[in-house]
């Protein structure tokens, strides 16, 4: 659920509310009890940039592909004589 920011047009009180996307906006100020609360437009607390999250995004040095290292360090399977 997103956190919405509100500000009272009467007393200037700022308020944050955890609400569902489908919830009606709040209108009653919790500080002065007047129906002057307006929803503010604000940015999210974090931003996802780029094309996605990859296992190599936060690796350094020679450990770039952990999934590949696990498969290459295991013994190779023999494909002959199975028939």
pTM: 0.52
| Residues 48-80: tens digit of each pLDDT | 666 666 655 566 666 555 555 555 555 555 555
Yes or no: say if 5 and 28 are a contact pair by the CB < 8 Å rule: no
| Residues 4-27: tens digit of each pLDDT | 999 999 999 999 999 998 999 999
Evaluated on CA atoms 10, 13, 14, 17, the torsion sign reads negative
- For residue 45, pLDDT beyond 80: no
What's the pLDDT at 1?
Answer: 79
User: Cα–Cα distances in Å, from 35 out to 4, 41, 47?
Assistant: 17, 19, 33
- Is pLDDT larger for residue 59 or for residue 33? 33
């Amino acid at each position: 659920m997103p956190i919405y920011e509100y500000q009272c047009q009467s007393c200037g009180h700022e308020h944050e509310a955890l609400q569902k996307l489908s919830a009606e906006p709040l209108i009653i100020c919790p500080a002065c009890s007047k129906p002057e609360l307006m929803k503010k437009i604000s940015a999210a607390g974090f931003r996802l940039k780029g094309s996605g999250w990859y296992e190599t995004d936060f690796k350094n040095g020679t450990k770039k592909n952990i999934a590949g290292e696990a498969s290459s360090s295991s013994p190779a399977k023999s494909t002959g004589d199975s028939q």
